Amino acid sequence: MEKTSQTNSYLQRYPEIKYKVLGKTGYTASICGFGSYRIDIGVKSHEITLSKALLSGINIIDTSANYSDGGSEKLIGKIVKELIETDKISRNEILIVSKGGYIQGSNFDLASQKESSGKPFPEITKCAPDLWHCIHPEFLEDQIKRSLERLNLERIDIYLLHNPEYFLTYSQITEDERRKKEYYRRIEQAFVHLEKEVSSGRINYYGISSNTFGLPSDKSNFTSLEKVIAIANNISDKNRFAVVQFPLNLFEQGGTLNKNNVNGTKTFLQLAEESNLGVLVNRPLNAIVKNQLIRLADFPVTENRNENEIIELMDDLSKQEENLINKYANFINVTTSERKNLIDCLSLAQILKVNRHSFTSAGNFKEVKIYHLIPRANFAINILGKYFDDENAVRSLRNYAVTVNILLDSIQSSLANKQNEKNRHIHQKLDAYLKDEQKKLSLSQKSVLMLNSLYGVSSTLVGMRNDSYVDDIIGSIKSGFIENPSEFWGKEFIKG
């Protein structure tokens, strides 16, 4: 088909980028895709990262209506439009995947208003006070229209039902067999509508993104690929059900282990491959094991200080904050509440002393640092800087800023060191299957490499929020594949 040749021409400009055919769509997709769960319009670094990915040979983008409350789709629409208008890419060289089903944020406001007016979206599943879910045709029609507007597109290449299994978890139907019958009826109803969307030209292909495709078949929220395929084939032998998405990583191997289809004889991935479905993998680097998140990545270490040195830094920071309060904060002309807020912001040392050991990972601490601790310090520095500009005050504020940055980076690096030490055994296990050059890769690169080496996996979707992530993933793509991936997959990696 025309689309295949055009995506091929794009990838030929990047000979080191590997690609696979995305099942019966015939599209060629880079073996890693741009996951956009945490990107948002207006964030310059996100715009730069998406542009870099598309101009590095990554040609598949995965998003959803609920990512950043539509901001993810808006950013994608903006950047893709700019790159097309400047002749850096053409529309038919890239694949855009979006999803619908979640009702939260602005969608929740819309659905609530419709319900209040007496004209609600039909068949809503209410999961939580501020989270509903729906795959009814009326809702999907509305969502596709809104996604197209945000994406600046006339059509979406692949549209997926987003975690329809929410119905199985939150349905008021208590009887198991009746609940599952209703679940697949709703999927069939959605598929009939999506076939109409194909006919109208608003989407090209459709499918399902589900977190439960790989679960054991006796789980109450299990989604059977076998039944979904039968539904599509019953609608039409020329149906456009063509793509499935599910989580797979080194620890969560259910899609390759559990024989949950065809009377317990085939795994999800086996059946998808035999059915010529495109398979997209999500959560490749975030494994959830026993309700704990394991980040499959190495962590940068920028400040290599021991425990005593970190304690000394906290004590130094405490003295600096006390000095800033006693010499400056107590003497500025502001209201009592404003002064209290300022003094609260000059308490980082105390916050860190009390809470430091509650931080579970470098990633967790980094989020707290960026969104809570650094803004507090910056607020205090900016306020005091407005009132005091003498040499001593400027020097004190400058020293305070430097100490804050060094201390925060030291704590983050300490956590990173501990996690990297834990990662050593994962590296060692993976290295048994890798070539010498591949052994030099980072943990995230190795984790993605193992996934891409599975024949049935079309593309691994990786979240990319800054350009260093793009570099990391391009490095993994260029490393090729491993031989005999089945020797690794199926070993229950979590054990040992």
DSSP 230-256: HHHHHH-TT--EEEEEEE--SS--HHH
As a whole number of angstroms, the distance between CA 285 and CA 476 comes to 13
pLDDT tens digits for the chain (496 residues)?
345 555 667 778 999 999 999 999 999 999 999 999 999 999 999 999 999 999 999 999 999 999 999 999 999 999 999 999 999 999 999 999 999 999 999 999 999 999 999 999 999 999 999 999 999 999 999 999 999 999 999 999 999 999 999 999 999 999 999 999 999 999 999 999 999 999 999 999 999 999 999 999 999 999 999 999 999 999 999 999 999 999 999 999 999 999 999 999 999 999 999 999 999 999 999 998 888 888 899 988 999 999 999 999 999 999 999 999 999 999 998 899 999 999 999 999 999 999 988 888 888 898 899 989 999 999 999 999 999 999 999 999 999 999 999 999 999 999 999 989 989 999 999 999 999 999 999 999 999 999 999 999 999 999 998 899 999 999 999 999 998 888 888 666 554 3
* C-alpha separations of 139 from 116, 208, 246, 347 in Å: 16, 16, 23, 49
User: Structure tokens of 373?
Assistant: 């601790």
C-beta of residue 14 within 8 angstroms of C-beta of residue 57: yes
The number of residues making up the chain comes to 496
Partners of residue 207 on adjacent β-strands: 160, 243
Pairing of strands 131-133, 125-128: antiparallel
Virtual torsion, Cα 396, 402, 403, 409, nearest 10 deg: 170
Sequence-ordered strand ranges (E) for 297-451: none
User: Structure tokens of 9?
Assistant: 């021409």
Q: What residues contact residue 306 under an 8 Å CB cut-off, 6+ apart?
A: none
Query: What is the maximum alpha-carbon separation in the chain?
Result: 79
Partners of residue 30 on adjacent β-strands: 19
User: Structure tokens of 46?
Assistant: 């996100």
What is the value of pTM for the model shown?
Answer: 0.89
The pLDDT value given to residue 284: 97
Task: Fill in the amino acid letter for 154.
Answer: E
C-beta of residue 140 within 8 angstroms of C-beta of residue 194: yes
As a whole number of angstroms, the distance between CA 476 and CA 473 comes to 5
Task: Fill in the amino acid letter for 127.
Answer: C
DSSP per position, 317-359: HHHHHHHHHHHTGGGS---HHHHHHHHHHT-HHHHHHHHGGG-
Q: Which DSSP letter does residue 185 get?
A: H
The pLDDT value given to residue 491: 65
Q: What residues contact residue 250 under an 8 Å CB cut-off, 6+ apart?
A: 287, 296, 426, 430, 447, 450, 493
**Helix (H) or strand (E) run with residue 380 in it:** helix 374-387
DSSP per position, 4-57: HHHHHHHHHT-TTS-EEE-GGG--EEESEEEE-TT--TT-HHHHHHHHHHHTTT
Q: Residue 474: how many CA atoms within 13 Å on its side-chain side? A: 17
C-beta of residue 295 within 8 angstroms of C-beta of residue 258: no
* C-alpha separations of 82 from 56, 78, 445 in Å: 16, 6, 30
The pLDDT value given to residue 307: 92
Tokens 């855009």 found at:
96
As a whole number of angstroms, the distance between CA 151 and CA 71 comes to 10
What is the tens place of the pLDDT at every residue in 294-319? 889 998 899 999 999 999 999 999 99
